[in-house]
Every structure is written in structure tokens, then in C-alpha cells.
Structure 1
Amino acid sequence: MTVRRTLAAAATAALMALLPNTAQAAESYPDPRPITGQQIIHDPTVMRLKGGGYVAYSTGGVIGARLSEDGSHWDDAGNAFAKPPAWWYGYNDTGDPWAPDLSYRAGRYWLYYAVSSWGTNHSAIGVATSRTGLPGTWTDHGRVFSSETTDTWNAIDPAVIRADGRPWMSFGSYWSGIRMVELHPRTGKAVEDAKVHHLATRPDEPYAVEGPEIVKHGRYYYLFASHDACCSGVDSTYKIKVGRSASITGPYVDSTGKPLLEGGGDLLLEGHGRYIGTGGQSVFRDRGRDWLAYHYYDKQDSGTPKLGLNELNWARNGWPNVA
């Protein structure tokens, strides 16, 4: 029986490597990698530090922090900041930051994050830097980009990538969907009079797509985004979809050629079993392999948000799938 199961699993994996990443039966989605220790998290961004070990930052606290030596056992490490920078209070009464993004460039770690209030696009994205990437070592540099109620986008959920030697930041939540601006390579803030590129949206209000993450693989840029609703425990409907483009600013399309600006996107991962509302994703590279980090709501633990980690594989046709 064990041999049969092994052969069946190998055949399934081989078939998935040949097919585009279209929707699949919920029971066939892989469970996240088993982890221990502090599992509670929301909107994780994960990285293997150059000094050794792993760090994860997240929504909650003053940008909540987790540390791990092996990527499997995680410990609570407090917060990125001891207290909220004063300017955060211009966007909510509690100085509550959301959805951080961690990257490394020019000898420093860069931590982008958003400050806003639920249901408004009076929002801003800020940035801090650190030489080590560890909690308690961050220096805040203020606003990167912002939005107001007169804008047709929402400046939250930042994600930064380098393309053609320049840094770019995707962002967005509901309103008109996912947007992008170019960043200044020295300051890490939006260039003067930055053009706001439109990358993805949904055809109908409330345009429920958010939390972008863009990675380069081969000759394409891949845009991962969370669709539908988060933050409702086991009633959450979050799922992760993906499209790609040969240009960082788009147009992005799914494997059928449908533009993400018309609601397209291949379904990469959705809720299954105890793992409800998979989303808030980021991608990190570790020892030559790509990993998808996300949160899910644990159906067997009253909908508590927890850290999901799956290896991200790439099919022969270039499209990603989770393992």
C-alpha cells in the first residue's frame, strides 16, 4: 500500500508539472509545513537573515516579530518597534500598523508597512531600515506613499521588488485593486510625481483583491494576490491567485490569457480542511528554493490565524504551484 501511495503521489506531481496552475479540488491542496512554537500570525513576511536564522514580521503589535533557527520552530520576539512612530497616529487612533514587507538591498534590510483604518483609503505606507533585520534595530524614515479619500486606490499592503536595477512597490486593497509606483533607490520612497500603474482589479465592487507580492522567475514577473475576504476567522474566504507579465508594470495575465485587470488569475491556494482563508501571502527564497508564506484560520482552533509555509514549485510551462 505504501508503494502504491508513493507511485500515485509521484504521478500526481508529474502531471501538475505539465499543467497550468488552474483551479483544483480543495482536497488536493497541500497542507502547510508542520511548525511548532509561536504559530499565531497575520500577513506574514519571512526572510532568512544573513546573520543566520529566520525572521517573520506581521500585522499585530508594533509590527509583530517571530524568530526561528531552522524555519520550523518559531519563538515570539516582541515587535519591530518599541513604540509607534508619532506620525502613525494621523491614520488611526492606536498607531496600528498592517501588512509589513521585508526585503534586503544596498547592505540594509528594508521594512515597509501600512497605517490606516478599516474601511477607508486615508492610508499611508512607511519604511524603516536596519543593518541586521532583527526586532528592536529599526530606524523609521516616515512616509513612502499615501492615499486619500479622493484617490481611486488604497495605499496599504506594500511589496517591493527590484526590476531593471530599480526598486518598485506594488500595493493595494479593494478600491480599484492593485497598483504600483517606482521608488527612489537611495531613500526607498516613491519617486517625485510617481506614475501610479494599475496591475489588477476585480470586475465588480468592492473589487476584492489585495496584498500583492511580485517575484521574478525566468523571464516573467509573477503577481500573487489575495482575493475575497479576510479577517473573519472560519468565515473568511481568502484565496491566493497569480498572473504574470514580461514587464514589471504589466499587463499581467493568467494562464488562459485573461488580464488581471479584468478579474483574471490562476487559483494557487484556497481553504481546505482545517486551513481556512489562505492569504496575506509573501514569497521568500531560502537555499535555492522558493517558499510561500501566508496565514490561514485554523478551523480546529476557533479560527485562530496561523502561519502557513509551503514550498513554491515551478512547472515546465513556468507557472507556480504549492507543494
Structure 2
Amino acid sequence: MKRLRTVTLLAAAVVALLPTSARADVTYPDPQPVTGRQIIHDPTVMRLKSGGYVAYSTGGVIGARTSKDRVHWDDAGNAFAEPPRWWYEYNDTGDPWAPDLFWRDGRYWLYYAVSSWGTNHSAIGVATSRTGLPGTWTDHGKAFSSETTDHWNAIDPAVVRADGRLWMTFGSYWTGIRMVELDPATGRAIEGATVHHLATRPDEPYAVEGPEIVKHGRHYYLFASHDVCCAGVNSTYRIKVGRSTDITGPYVDSKGTPLLEGGGDLLLAGHGRYVGTGGQSVFRDRGRDWLAYHYYDAEDEGTPKLGLNALTWQKNGWPVVR
């Protein structure tokens, strides 16, 4: 997990610059028990059309895990045998981050980021596969990118359909969470499309990243990770959520505070051995929603591991982790 080794010391230093995170709350549920290959970071999980599950993650050449029952996970190598050459424009190790898995039009679509720590010279790539399994992906190059002159950072992609259109949320630090419309034919950002602003923090370093949008009822729910990842037991990641009736916002929390003003209901925070819960995604399995995320195991030297919990919805529409 090259990114983690590279940034641990830097991330730990940043902790001191951030607002104090929520105190541990024993009412947060533990992740469901999993076995096998538990080590993972920034997981995206899906139940495949062929049966069984696949999870892709930061680390390796987009690290892969497979499971038959969502409980026992096996190491399945990497999405790609080797990094596409264009990745090296963004870091000298060809190291991809934070993938997102999406199904549409008879194919699996895999979005991922390539960048270096501390810069927004970044790009989001896109690949497709008929099976969704590691080793079957065809890379199609950049879907979207950012440069140091931009006010956003093109990493942490997540794709969602809304009203017959295709959208991609992304963002990390800088000005927070953004969104751009995609061309369904290519899976890439529409040239000249508006870059919408969905969420940020009021103070530098604007530590919000890893967006995920889910439609439930008449609302779109924006999940995001706040504070610091990648620092082992010193990580302060926690997951917050807001909602909107319009895919492009404005998103607010249950008290009406805009996510553009630092709002967000706390959905899941570290507790006990489960430190720094974040890097989340949501997937559907047999009619139920599930939250996938990583946590740092305080009883195993801060090793990042897979967290899975059922995601249920209250009568008022707001999500709860079970």
C-alpha cells in the first residue's frame, strides 16, 4: 500500500491543524465480522451479476478482493497487470487511489484517481469490463483532470445516475467536494461542463473528501469522509452525510446546515479498536444497502481493514448504520 507508507508521517502532522474530531461513541456499531484478506483501503464493493462479490481498493495496481458470501474475502491480485503509462504523468510510481465501481449499459465501469500527496495535479481514469473481475479491465484513459491552477482536486471519484443523466462526484481538501456531468457514451466528463460545488469546510485545510451519492426516496444523499486518513491509529476519519432533492444541491444536514458551510450529520466515527472510519462507498445487495469503508485496527498496529455494515433508513429519510 504505497500511498499509505508515503503519507503516514505527513498525515499525522496535519492532525494538529484540524478541528477536534468527535469523541468515541460506544453506540456506533462494530463492523460485521469478516475473514480472510481483511487488509484494504478506500474500498468499493459490488455484488457481481455472475454471483459473488468483488472489492477494489487503493494499493497495488488497484488491489482486488473477491468473496462468495460477503464474509470471507480472498486476495484476487489487481485490476490491472501493470499501470497504464499515462499514470506516470501524475506520480512516479504509477500508484492509483480510491477506485469506484459502477454498472451500466451491460458493462462494469471502474473509475480511479492518480495523483501525488499534497498536489491537485491529479486525474481520474476510467476502465471497463464485461465481468468486473480483476485482469479483465480495458483502460480508456482520463475521464477528468485538475491542475494547480484549479480550485479543486480530481481524486476520489464516485458515479451516480440522476434524471437520465450521468454525474461524477470527486474531491479532496482544496475547496472540498465537486461534481461534473459525464458523457454516457464515453464515460468521460463533458467538455466545458459546469463543475458544481457540493460540500466544503469553513477553515483550511478544508478536510473533506471521498464523496458518495445515493438516491433514496425523493432525496440524494451525499456521504463524505471528514478529517485525516492514512495515519494509522492517529487517523481521525469519520463519515458525515447530507441530502438534497436536486443532484447538484444544495445539500444540507438534518438541522438545515448547508454542507457548503461545514454541515453534515455524523453517521459513523471511530470507537474502540475501530479507528478512523472512512473512505466509504455504498452498494446494494439483495434489496439492502450496505456501507463499505476502511478502519485502522488499534489492536493490530493500525492496519487498515475492511468494514461492512448494513445501511438502513429511518422514517424521516435519514440513514443509520446497523
Q: In which range does the TM-score fall when normalised by the shorter chain?
A: over 0.9
Separation in 2, partners of 1:72, 1:43: 18
Q: Taking every aligned residue pair, what percent have the same amino acid on both sides?
A: 83
Give 1:25 shift: 6.4
Partner of 2:284: 285
Partner of 1:246: 245
Partner of 1:60: 59
Q: Is the 8 A contact 2:152 2:172 kept in 1?
A: yes
Change (3 A) 1:24 1:313: farther
Give 1:210 shift: 0.1
For residues 258-313 of structure 1, the C-alpha deviation after alignment (integer angstroms, 9 at most, x for no partner) is 00000000000000000000000000000000000000000000000000000001
Bigger Cα Rg: 1
Which residue identity is paired with 2:91?
Answer: N
Separation in 2, partners of 1:25, 1:279: 14
Give 1:194 shift: 1.1
Separation in 1, partners of 2:306, 2:191: 37
SS of equivalent residue, structure 1 residue 225: strand
Separation in 2, partners of 1:183, 1:263: 27
With the length of structure 2 as denominator, give the TM-score of the two structures. 0.93
For residues 7-65 of structure 1, the C-alpha deviation after alignment (integer angstroms, 9 at most, x for no partner) is xxxxxxxxxxxxxxxx8961110000000000000000000000010000000000000
SS of equivalent residue, structure 1 residue 144: strand
Separation in 1, partners of 2:181, 2:25: 37
Separation in 1, partners of 2:147, 2:186: 22
Which residue identity is paired with 1:211?
Answer: G
SS of equivalent residue, structure 2 residue 260: helix
Separation in 2, partners of 1:305, 1:185: 34
Q: How many residues matched?
A: 301
Which residue identity is paired with 2:62?
Answer: I
Separation in 2, partners of 1:319, 1:79: 35
Separation in 2, partners of 1:165, 1:188: 14
SS of equivalent residue, structure 1 residue 89: helix
Separation in 1, partners of 2:77, 2:100: 17
Partner of 2:13: none
CA RMSD of aligned residues (A): 0.8
Partner of 1:162: 161
Pairing 1:151-190 to 2, within 5 Å after superposition: 151-190=150-189
Give 1:192 shift: 1.4
Pairing 1:245-264 to 2, within 5 Å after superposition: 245-264=244-263
Separation in 2, partners of 1:125, 1:250: 22
Moved over 3 A (4+): none
- Structure 1's unaligned 5+ residue stretches are 1-22
SS of equivalent residue, structure 2 residue 50: coil
Partner of 1:92: 91
Pairing 1:38-187 to 2, within 5 Å after superposition: 38-187=37-186
